[in-house]
Structure 1
Amino acid sequence: MYRNKTFNRKKVMIVFVAVFFIMMFLIGRLVYLMIFCSEYYGNKAENLHERERDIKAARGKLLDANGTVLATNKSVCTISVIHNQIEEPEKVIEMLVRELGIPEETARKRVEKVSSIERVKTNVAKETGDAIRAYGLSGVKVDEDYKRYYPYGTLASKVLGFTGADNQGILGLEVKYDEYLQGTNGKILTLTDARGIEIENAGESRLEPVNGYDLCLSLDYNIQMYCEQAAKKVCTKKSADSVSVIVMNPQNGELMAMVNYPEFDLNNPFTLAGDTGEAVSAEEKQNLLNKMWRNQCISDTYEPGSTFKIITAAAALEEGVVKLDDAFFCPGYKIVEDRRIRCARTTGHGAETFETGIMNSCNPVFMELGERLGAENFVGYFKQFGLLSKTNIDLPGEAGTIMHKTENIGPVELATISFGQSFQITPIQLVTTVSSIINGGTRVTPHFGVSVQDADGNTAKTFSDETHENICTAETSETMRYLLEKVVSEGTGKNAKIEGFSIGGKTATSQTLPRSDHKYISSFLGFAPADNPQVLVLVVINNPQGIYYGGTIAAPVAKEIFENILPYLDK
């Protein structure tokens, strides 16, 4: 009997101790939740009775060099419904079908879906949004929103780029400077009861949006228009595949224009240019869109041809392997190993100096310069001039130079490289490298972005771009400016000559791969004034029909551009 009592007391004590510790744990937990976590759970409770809607921030504008608005915003509306607040669902469905033009099935699905808020349609015209608001139907919300709008449609489409449905940048400058342009959305907070219905007279709190910064560009609307008109004209006349034009200040890298004709409509970027209405697969359409959006000036590489002779000549002058009066002889070709490599003039130029050789764009002269430099030295100048690195232009999608490895450059490769074949660069790379050769020896970074400013015009940030000094000597730069002015005034570039203006430049005609297709690229690179370059223009015509020589069809286009922009810039 005594044992049973002792045993029972022990059991009672164990239970008591267990209950005591459980109670202490629960009390401690309660104190922790009520005191230390009160703010956290208070916020959670508050959030259960708050409904949050975004107030969209206005995206910053894109402004040209003169303040012309190239991209802005249109006021649109987002239409939403809140299931728990709808009192007359059939009237709401009927209204949505009538005003938004959506199928009844879609409207009914949105209205009957039980959720805190259901978006019905975005990018609705403001007039339609106002009309929906005027119905005064419970549970229907009309929120102000913005849609990107481009006043000039196709102007500089592959440079400016466009935004998606969420107003975030997708292409071009819109995506490159998205962090400055997009701003910060605001909020509308409304109180609801346990059923999710807004409490009358409870009011609403607002967190106002912060609009994005405006982006100030070096691109000039007028110069871009001049260039686009010239590109369209020659593309149509020569039935070319495309025409690219770059206009840049070689002293600081500011880009005044960049044309990739044909352009596309920025306000309808997902509509294929020349769409015939034929059904295509989703994958094929995306490929066609990517091709339409592609910026050839920065993303496509090509064999530059004779415009590259500027770089070969500068390397030879820097290395001291040639002087202006050095004598050469051109029989119309040069034998390199087992290959006969022709000059553009198959009958030959005969006896000539280095100066007349560059004026004649004579291939044998430049093959001789390549031989004097040697493969290792030549590749060294590629590095020195920055050709083996990207330009770091402020646009996405830049391609790099495609070049032989030094150990793979034999006599034939060296000869063809010297006059701009058997390797590939982008148009923007050519423009940037030539700029450094003619501006005194400073490699600049090509760019469109200059600064960002707030809505009141106050500058928030000015962009600085990297430069590299001593790419070549001032003497080499001066000599190259002299030689390239001779090319235009007396040589192959005479079709770009303008009375009263000093123009320097170089023509080029290169063949695309495979050679058997007999497709050509005609180009001209020019700058003015020749003694102190302030404007550099590159024209590239892809696959022109009929006569395809750069001096015949590309140089006149550059001349037309110069005739428009030099008086405009007062150069």
Structure 2
Amino acid sequence: MSKFDNKKIMPRYFAIAVVLTLTGIAILCKAAYIMSAKKEYWTEVAARLKSDSLSVKPTRGNILSCDGRLMASSIPEYRIFMDFKAGGEKKDSVWRDSIDVICEGLHRIFPSKTAKEFKQHLEKGHAKMSRNWPIWKKRIDYNTFTEVKKLPVFNMSKYKGGFHWEEFNSRRRPFGSLAQRTVGDMFGAKDTARFGLELSYDSILRGKNGLIHRRKILNKFMSIPIMPPDDGADIVTTIDVGMQDLAERALVEELKEINGNVGVVILMEVETGDIKAIVNMVKCADGGYRETVNKAISHRCEPGSVFKVASFLVALDDGVVDTSFVIHTGSGVMPMHGRDMKDHNWRRGGYQDINVARTLEVSSNIGVSHVIDKFYFNNPEKYVDGLHRVGIAEDLQLPLVGYTPPIIRRPHKNSRGQYDNWSKTALAWMSIGYETQVAPINTVTFYNAIANNGRMMRPRFVKKVIKNGETLKEYPPEVIKEQIAKPQTIKTMQTILEHVVSQGLGKKAGSPMFKVAGKTGTAQVSKGKAGYKSGTVDYWLSFAGFFPADKPRYSCIVCIEKSGLPASGGGMSGVVFHHIAEGVMAKHLKMSVDDARDTSSVMIPDVKNGNIMAADYVLGRLDIKTDTQWEGSYAYGNPIWGKAARHAGEVTLTKTKTPRNIVPDVKGMGARDAVYMLESRGLTVKVQGRGKVKSQSYAPGRTAISGAECVLVME
């Protein structure tokens, strides 16, 4: 008979199981209570614990422009706290006596919060006897930090007063948003790079953490350095601040004028491939334009007519045509394997018979697609191989995160010898910039190679890495392809591109001061499954080229996306190109007056209206005779404003005296003088364009009303 008594044993097991279950539930409840109700207390306890060894963050390296100016630098920022248990009763009495003065001081430093609100906030922390109570919710800069430290109690030592802080390395860009997407940014709270050069060169800029040993001696912790932090190195970029600012202003001005959605500019040095300026503007919800995405390197799109240059470069290099080859474009409409190919002027009768050179000058779709379809239809692989040969499909392998290489599909035959990814119309439309995906950086690199006599350079963003004045690493210019086409083919294309600007559709990109070469592009933007003409049609407008055409120094691409008509690559993107080219070339003009003067004639310069005293001084230094006249009946103070007129052998300076309450005539003045004159009378001035004042919206001679707006149109 078994000795196991089920009636006695099972209740005992059950009682034990119930006790253990209740104990487990109690433990879980206690844990939940600690994690919620007691969270703040234990967080403060954890904050007071000091490990034996602590890491020390290094100072992040700087990002410099090509001429050594700071584009991104690290500066200290602070979060400030109060330990209400420090200092004991003696500190508490001082705190009670000083609380009102402290709160008034904090309100003066942080005006967005009243002294009463500060007092309520600090008294709440004092009631909890918190050891880590935040005084201000955000980080503050060093100057603000020093102001806070001057306040009563806060100026005492950490252990007596309780005021303490956390220090962070904050990233600042002295030039604000200039080249923001390329330079990059940081996650402030995590001190980690987000994008741009900050992210691509993070391992160089970041440096290495140091190590200190903390030892408690006489109830105080001492920090004993074990390994000092290795500060990050600086990187010198190829960006030119002046050119970047010029490109941004020219692009944004045009975007506002035409209500564009997106704008991209890339300015590249021909010989080295250095990126001197790169702009990415997107229209935001508030109507302003900001850099939110680096579309210059990441936005693969159908490039449109700027791609025609690559198509004809392949055809010319293969020798299937030359510049004299005549194409019959008819009335501007030509059937292509069941679809109609149209020129932009098909409603006006088309271009009839034109040669290859003229085809690019007027950007004839029919002309380009007819040539490529005629000579490569039976062998499309040869055409696509040619595109890869001339470099338009090259993977540039850029150091910037987000770069996307081009997508130009290759024909593929199945086992039956039939193309399974190719249609009869593929060549015709690919040749004019559709059915391909190319980012602006690839297009400008291709045009840069044409300007560089066939040598393709890899776009360079960083020149070298320096630290403490020493160069640690250099990134020399890198050649991708020594020759993208035969030298004679390149020369021919250079001439054609110059004619596109001088006598074709790219005239607005040109300059009377120097020769410009390039190609316009206007493409409809595909909306995926909705196609090209769903709702309002979006257009991708571009102009790619180089200048000066006879001795190229810079290549540039300008791309604009806008909705609806009018839309013109030459008339919109070309205008931006024109402003950039003239601005860049003006920057490099270094002429001596003596060298420029013709000794057989008298040089009479064009003098702007404005500060006559300044004009008189300059003309005097140039040994040019001046005749001064007065106009008006009211005189007041210096400087004296007026207008200038050129005559044979001398300049007449007419000094005008306009009363303070009357709007002066500022036509012919520069922006600085005109704005000064109008704002001194209380007007709000807006400037449109560059050069001299062409017109003013607030008519001269009227009584000036303070706050009234006056728009100045410059040319």
**TM-score category of the 2 structures, normalised to the smaller one:** 0.7 to 0.9
Q: How much does 1:468 deviate? A: 2.6
Supply the AA of the counterpart residue of 1:242: V
Partner residue, 1:230: 250
Shift of 1:255: 0.3
**Counterpart pick for 2:400 among 395, 399, 420:** 395
Q: 1:82 to 1:211 in 2, by over 3 A?
A: farther
Change (3 A) 1:90 1:411: farther
Counterparts of 1:479-494 in structure 2, within 5 Å, are 479-494=492-507
The 10-residue stretch of structure 1 (202-211 or 300-309) with the greater mean CA deviation from structure 2:
202-211
1:51-95 CA-to-partner distances (Å, cap 9, x unmatched) read 445543222111111222111222223547889977579799999
Shift of 1:538: 0.7
Matches within 5 A, 1:41-440: 51-79=52-80, 87=88, 103=121, 112=130, 123-130=139-146, 131-132=148-149, 134-138=155-159, 141-142=164-165, 144-165=167-188, 166-192=190-216, 199-200=219-220, 203-206=222-225, 207-262=227-282, 274=286, 293-331=292-330, 332-346=332-346, 347-371=349-373, 372-374=375-377, 375-407=380-412, 408-440=421-453
* CA distance, structure 2, for counterparts of residue 474 and residue 531 of structure 1: 15
Q: Distance in 1 between matches of 2:425 and 2:561?
A: 26
Aligned residue for 1:293, secondary structure, equals: coil
Shift in Å at residue 176 of structure 1? 0.8
Question: Any idea what the Cα deviations from partners look like across 1:318-360, whole Å, max 9, x if unmatched?
Answer: 1111111111111112211111111112021111111111112
Q: Structure 1's 302 and 91: CA in aligned 2 closer, same or farther, altered over 3 A?
A: farther
Q: Which residue of 1 aligns with 2:456?
A: 443
| Separation in structure 2 between the aligned mates of residue 248 and residue 565 of structure 1, nearest angstrom | 12
CA separation of 1:568 and 1:49: change in aligned 2, threshold 3 A: closer
* In 2, Cα distance between equivalents of 1:136 and 1:410: 80
- Gap change, CA 1:292 and 1:438, over 3 Å in 2: closer
Task: Verify the 8 A CA contact 2:85 2:130 in the aligned structure 1.
Answer: no
Paired residue secondary structure (2:260): coil
Tell me whether 462-471 or 237-246 shows the greater mean CA deviation.
Answer: 462-471
Cα separation, 2, equivalents of 1:534 and 1:136: 61
Shift, 1:104, TM fit: 5.5
Give the conservation status (yes or no) of the 8 Å contact 1:452–1:459: yes
Letter in 1 for 2:362: N
- How many angstroms does 1:149 deviate by? 0.8
1:557–1:49 CA distance, 2 compared to 1 (3 A): closer
1:192 alignment partner AA: K
Offset from partner CA, 1:96-137 (integer Å, 9 cap, x none) = x966989559957997579xx999977333245444462324
State the secondary structure of the residue aligned to 1:498: coil
- TM-score, length basis structure 2: 0.63
Q: Which has the higher relative contact order, 1 or 2, with Cα contacts under 8 A spaced 6 or more apart?
A: 1
Query: Which among 455, 468, 471 is matched to residue 481 of structure 2?
Result: 468
- Shifted more, 164-173 versus 131-140: the winner is 131-140
Matched-pair contact (CA < 8 Å) for 2:56–2:210? yes
Alpha-carbon contact 1:244-1:541 (below 8 Å) kept = yes
CA offsets per residue over residues 266-291 of structure 1, 9 Å max, x none?
Answer: xxxxxx87499xxxxxxxxxxxxxx9
Secondary structure (helix, strand or coil) at the match of 2:480 reads coil
Tell me, in whole angstroms, the C-alpha distance in 2 between the residues paired with 1:210 and 1:348: 68
On the 8 A contact 1:184/1:211 being kept in 2, the answer is yes
Q: Which residue type is aligned with residue 362 of structure 1? A: S
Q: Is 2:563 the partner of 1:550?
A: no
Cα distance in 1 for partners of 2:85, 2:230 equals 31
Aligned to 1:27: none
Identify the residue that residue 459 of structure 1 maps to in structure 2.
Answer: 471
**Conserved? CA contact 2:67–2:240, under 8 Å:** yes
SS in 2 for 1:170: strand
Deviation at 1:373, TM superposition (A): 3.0
Question: Given that residues 455 and 482 in structure 2 are in contact (C-alpha distance below 8 angstroms), is that contact kept between their aligned partners in structure 1?
Answer: yes
Larger mean CA deviation between 145-154 and 404-413 belongs to 404-413
Kept in 1: contact 2:393–2:442 (CA 8 A): no
Q: What's the secondary structure of 1:402's corresponding residue?
A: coil
Deviations 1:447-498 (A, max 9, x none): 211111113x221111244523232222221111111011111111111221
- How far 1:370 moved relative to its partner? 1.4
Question: Structure 1: which 5+ residue stretches go unaligned?
Answer: 1-47, 264-271, 277-290
In structure 2, how many angstroms separate the alpha carbons of the residues matched to 1:479 and 1:538? Answer: 21
Secondary structure of the residue aligned to 2:307 is: helix
Contact persistence 2:448–2:546 (CA under 8 A): no
1:506-548 Cα shifts (integer Å, max 9, x gaps): 0111101132132112111120122332201111111155421
Work out whether residues 243 and 261 of structure 1, in 8 Å CA contact, stay in contact via their aligned partners in 2. Answer: yes
User: Does the aligned pair in 1 maintain the 2:451–2:555 contact within 8 Å?
Assistant: no
Alignment RMSD, CA only? 3.4
Identity among equivalent pairs (%): 26
Does the residue aligned with 2:193 lie in a helix, a strand or coil? coil
**Structure 2 residue identity aligned to 1:359:** E
* Structure 1 length-normalised TM: 0.78
For the 8 Å contact 2:76–2:167, the answer to whether it is kept is yes
* Distance in 2 separating the partners of 1:329 and 1:425: 30
How far off is 1:443 after superposition?
A: 2.5
2:578 aligns with 559
Return the offset for 1:164.
Answer: 1.6
Match of 2:636 in 1: none
Task: Give the SS at the match of 2:178.
Answer: coil
Q: Residues 510 and 275 of structure 1: is their aligned pair in 2 closer, same or farther, counting only changes over 3 Å?
A: closer
Which amino acid is 1:327 matched to? V
Q: Give the aligned partner of residue 520 of structure 1.
A: 539
Once the two structures are overlaid, the 10-residue window that deviates more, 369-378 or 381-390, is: 381-390
Q: Secondary structure at 2:456's aligned position in 1? A: coil
Gaps of 5+ in 2: 1-48, 413-420, 591-715
For the residues of structure 1 that align with 2:334 and 2:351, how far apart are their CA atoms? Answer: 12
Q: Secondary structure at the match of 1:225?
A: helix
CA contact (8 A) 1:238 1:545 kept: no
Alpha-carbon distance in structure 2 between the residues aligned to 1:381 and 1:172: 33
Q: Which moved more, 1:364-373 or 1:182-191?
A: 182-191
Aligned-partner residue type, residue 182 of structure 2:
V
Question: Structure 2 vs 1, CA of residues 357 and 459 (structure 1 numbering), >3 Å: closer, same or farther?
Answer: same
Query: What's the secondary structure of 1:524's corresponding residue?
Result: strand
Alpha-carbon separation, structure 1, partners of 2:138 and 2:231: 20
Q: Are residues 330 and 105 of structure 1, via their aligned partners in 2, closer, same or farther at CA, if it must alter by over 3 Å? A: farther
